[in-house]
Chains A and B, each alone.
Chain A
Amino acid sequence: MSQFEEYTPDDSSDFDSAWRNAFDEAAETPPPRVWDAIERQLDESENPKILPLWGLGWSASRPVVWGVGIAAAVVLLLVGWWATFQQPGLSEQPVAQQSAPAPQDTESNLATTGKGATEAPASGQAATVPVGPSTPDIAQNDPTESVAGSRRPTESAHTSDQARSERPSTAPASGRPGYQLPADRYAGRRGQVTDRDLLAGSTSRRPSRTTSTPAMGEENRMNATTFAEPTAPSVVPNNIPEPTVLQVSSMNLERLANRPVQFKQLYGTQRIIWFRAPEPTSSPESEQPKNQSRELWASVSVMPGAFNSSVSVRQAMPTPTLTAMNSNAFVQNTPAYDRSTVTSRANFSVAYQATAGIQMNEHWTIETGVGYLQGRSTVESPAQLSSSYVVRTTELQAASGNSSNLYVDALRNSLVTSAGNALNAASDYKGSFVSNTMLSNPNVAANVYDEKTRQATANDYVYVQVPVQVGYQIRPRNRLSFTVLGGMLTNWFVRNTVANDLTISAGDGVYRPVSLAATMGLRFRYRPTQRWSASLAGMYQPSLQSGTRPQAGVSNRPTATGMSFGLDYHF
């Protein structure tokens, strides 16, 4: 070793400085894939990795996905139930007393003092707990962890002291506020400060931060032990029966009775309380992103999807009595109609929406807007039979070419009921239905429907929608972000065109002018620029109430499902 010390004189510095100078300004552009990888890693790092339940291979099969989902729901319910019923028991658990009362002359109070003293070590132990976590926090915040990160704390402490004694640190303590522009600060030193100084400063600064806390902790722990000693004789294990405690206390009282009174209370109860100073409220640096995060955006979107009106007939249509009819086999077999006889299925729908949103904080958003929904749905219901009793109806139907079935008739019946004018309704709707007023006279006509012969009727609904949604962004400030959306949707009914023939508007008294629906979904937003972004959202909008009035003969609960494509502008 001595040979090397002899060998490394000043003349070797020329060799080293020549190498140093050769690499001083050396630069080589890395391939573009490096930045791509960095960007990808930055995007991924801000979200914990989620193992998708739908997975790959066999786990992607539908039964497994549903099974896992149901199992998870059951487990959550069980845990929730368990937590709910376990909660009252928590109050029965003992709570550690924070302070020991001052000793009094009565035995009961002495016993209390003894109890309190038994808990003193526990509280003292708890008070020292914060010492531990503070050290790793500091270590984790230092990006240069790889030099000293893997070192053992004792080694680190030793080397830091050694380093401090060997050479003074040129770098000031970390966390010192006050930024000076590098040009001002280093202009005069650029030629003097070498990398060696900077790097040496860094290595000496880091251990000094990590070693200060354990040293203090050790010292104070010793102090805590010293202060705890006066109370130590009164420490009684919990498992000793209470009478023994009282006996010991009374014996102590007798001993103390002969001694002069000394006011040791002035300094008798000394306790080291580890107190972590509150963090500075918030620095301007940390406030800046918060203010900037409250941004506004406006977006337009189109949502193709499926719309199902979920229609049912609210009341059974009057069934003709046998005496009022001939021995017509069809009529005799006419079943009693109920809501299950009418079914509806979803058809293509499209919704256009213009929304505006505001970012409340880093994750939460609120948005609202206005939309136009054109939803198509097909209703299948028993068709009307042709019989001698329905001659008029059939003839009129044939003449007009209109369909007539249970659903359409119920709808028209509702219209007439609400309008209170059967004649007008009959002339308006070309006589293809028989109203309740007509049914009062069974000899005139009666609608008879065949359950086996079903007729499909197209419905074309138009709504104006006003959504109010709350969103939770899973990846805020990322180029690709996810938002879970949920909220309410106000559907303003405009019209429903049934079989391209019957148009029912909001004023006809069949449909509610305003009905409420829930809206929920998941939105992906890709934001390549600061101002513009594109979004793709899967939305589900079930109705929360019937879309028709209570007196109407039909009821519907429309549900819209679709995939929304949007373009957003961020202000």
Chain B
Amino acid sequence: MLDEYALVEGCRRQDRTVQRQLYERFAGKLFVVCKRYVKDPDEAEDVLQDSFVKIYRHIGSFRFECPLEAWLKRVVINTALKHLRKEKPWEHTADVQEMAPILPQADESLPSLNYQYLLQLIQELPPGCRTVFNLYAIEGYNHPEIAEMLEIAEGTSKSQYARARTLLQQKLRNEQRVRDESI
């Protein structure tokens, strides 16, 4: 198995075999990233495809200043955001005051659920909430950065995150209740 350096060098030479190896090594993880941002499976495949084409074209600008996987993930996220930017779902947000009364208590932890179920929960979120939740909770951006990336107000980012979190916690509580009843 080639190391990261050999993978990058091979892709710079446009060696199709090495390009294929890079794809096979990282496509699985990156496909999940795509699916977190884009609900429709076909669109997620499109985003993955566009991302890899970008990766192969711009692999020359990768300077090994961060792990290769992080760089690839960043490209995928940017491609997904570009895809979503056409619709700008994060602009359709509920008012902050509207969301405040239903804010949950911050004591929940995730039950031991597989990622497919969690992915399904994320995909069921409204697009704006989903994007902000992914960026904040999973990718680790802060609200000013998200506001800059999505060209929205910082408060909008916060409200979208709060709404996403509320919806997810509600779904998780329902799931827990169903489990308890079944036992």
Contact = CB atoms under 8 A, between A and B. Distances in A.
Contacts of B66: 171, 198, 201-202
A99 to B, nearest CB: 40
A262 interface: no
A441 interface: no
A47 interface: no
Nearest to B111: A18
B85 interface: yes
A31 B53 contact: no
Contact of B138 (A14, A23, A182, A292): A23
Contacts of B56: 38, 42
Contact of B23 (A38, A174, A176): A38
Given A16-B136, A19-B137, A28-B32, 11 more contacts: A25-B29, A26-B32, A30-B48, A42-B16, A143-B54, A143-B59, A146-B85, A179-B63, A180-B64, A194-B140, A199-B139
A22 B118 contact: yes
A150 B158 contact: no
Nearest to A11: B106
Contact of B63 (A8, A174, A203): A174
Contacts of B165: 12, 15
Contacts of A285: 9, 12
B141 A200 contact: yes
11 contacts: A23-B36, A25-B29, A26-B119, A28-B31, A34-B45, A34-B48, A146-B79, A146-B82, A180-B64, A182-B4, A199-B70
A39 B138 contact: no
B74 A144 contact: yes
A286 to B, nearest CB: 9
Contacts of B67: 182, 186, 198
Contacts of A172: 65
Interface in B1-15: 3-5, 9, 12-14
A201 B70 CA distance: 12
B29 A159 contact: no
Nearest to B12: A285
A143 B139 contact: no
Given A4-B158, A29-B27, A18 B148 contact: no
Interface of B: 3-5, 9, 12-14, 16-17, 19-20, 23, 27-29, 31-32, 35-36, 45, 48-49, 52-61, 63-68, 70, 73-75, 78-79, 81-82, 85, 96, 100, 103, 106-110, 113, 115, 118-119, 136-142, 144-145, 148-149, 151, 154-155, 158-159, 162, 165
Contact of B5 (A20, A181, A288): A181
B115 A37 contact: no
A182 B31 contact: no
Interface of A: 1, 3-5, 7-9, 11-12, 14-16, 18-20, 22-23, 25-31, 33-35, 37-39, 41-42, 45, 141-147, 149-151, 159, 163, 166, 171-172, 174-176, 179-182, 185-186, 194-196, 198-203, 285, 288-289, 292, 477, 479, 530
Nearest to B68: A182
A275 B29 CA distance: 46
A121 B67 CA distance: 50
A134 to B, nearest CB: 16
A3 B96 contact: yes
A195 B78 CA distance: 14
B70 to A, nearest CB: 5
B48 A42 contact: no
A196 B73 CA distance: 12
Contact of A147 (B20, B31, B78): B78
A550 B66 CA distance: 76
Contacts of A37: 49
A136 to B, nearest CB: 15
Given A4-B155, A15-B109, A20-B137, A27 B53 contact: no
A523 B66 CA distance: 44
B173 to A, nearest CB: 13
Closest 7 CB pairs of A and B: A196-B140, A143-B58, A27-B28, A146-B82, A4-B158, A146-B78, A26-B115
Given A3-B96, A34-B45, A28 B13 contact: no
B100 A3 contact: yes
A16 B142 CA distance: 12
B118 A19 contact: yes
Contact of A27 (B32, B45, B79): B32
B78 to A, nearest CB: 4
Given A15-B109, A182-B4, A479-B16, A141 B68 contact: no
Contacts of A28: 28, 31-32, 35
Nearest to A39: B16
A151 to B, nearest CB: 8
Contacts of B31: 27-30, 34
B137 to A, nearest CB: 4
B133 to A, nearest CB: 8
Given A20-B140, A146-B78, A203-B148, A179 B64 contact: yes
A174 B145 CA distance: 21
A1 B107 CA distance: 22
